[in-house]
Amino acid sequence: DGGITQSPKYLFRKEGQNVTLSCEQNLNHDAMYWYRQDPGQGLRLIYYSQIVNDFQKGDIAEGYSVSREKKESFPLTVTSAQKNPTAFYLCASSIDTGPRETQYFGPGTRLLVL
């Protein structure tokens, strides 16, 4: 089955710790995205990647980093610089980044700070 997988489902972070959220897709999509969802707010774009070895900052990139070494994978690192990391993180992909491309989402990772 084609789709997007995210792991882990729940992740706990200690103060000062970097954590990495995994996102893998086997849809052969060029574009991948990371969003953050907070209660009462829409999805906010953290980073996106149009193609391997290329990525751009979204609206709330501070405190996050990404890499895109493979087409299938787009991991997100939440660094210690992100002061309020507790949120639900969603990864998505689309065929490309055209204005009419539908994005397909993974199941999400909930990050909690200890």
Partner 1 sequence: DQQVKQNSPSLSVQEGRISILNCDYTNSMFDYFLWYKKYPAEGPTFLISISSIKDKNEDGRFTVFLNKSAKHLSLHIVPSQPGDSAVYFCAASDGDMRFGAGTRLTVKP
Which residues in this chain contact partner 1 in the complex, by CB under 8 A?
A: 4, 6, 9, 35, 40-45, 90-92, 97-100, 102-108, 110
Q: Which of 42, 19, 31, 13 is nearest to 91 (CA)?
A: 31
Pinpoint the alpha helices (H) of the chain: none
Q: Which is nearer to partner 1, 61 or 104 (CB)?
A: 104
Judged by CB, which is closer to partner 1: 5, or 20? 5
Where does residue 40 fall: left (phi above 0), alpha (psi -120 to 50 degrees), or beta otherwise? left
Question: Judged by CB, which is closer to partner 1: 32, or 91?
Answer: 91
How far, CA to CA in Å, does 88 sit from each of 36, 47, 50, 110?
Answer: 6, 15, 23, 4
Q: Closer to partner 1 at the Cβ: 13 or 110? A: 110
Q: 51: closest CA among 90, 21, 108, 93?
A: 93
The one-letter code for the residue type at 26 is N
Taking the complex as a whole, the smallest distance from the CB of residue 25 to partner 1 amounts, in Å, to 12
State the nearest-atom distance from the C-beta of 100 to partner 1, in Å: 5
Q: In whole angstroms, how close is the CB of 31 to partner 1 at the nearest point?
A: 11
Shortest reach from residue 69's CB to partner 1, in Å: 23
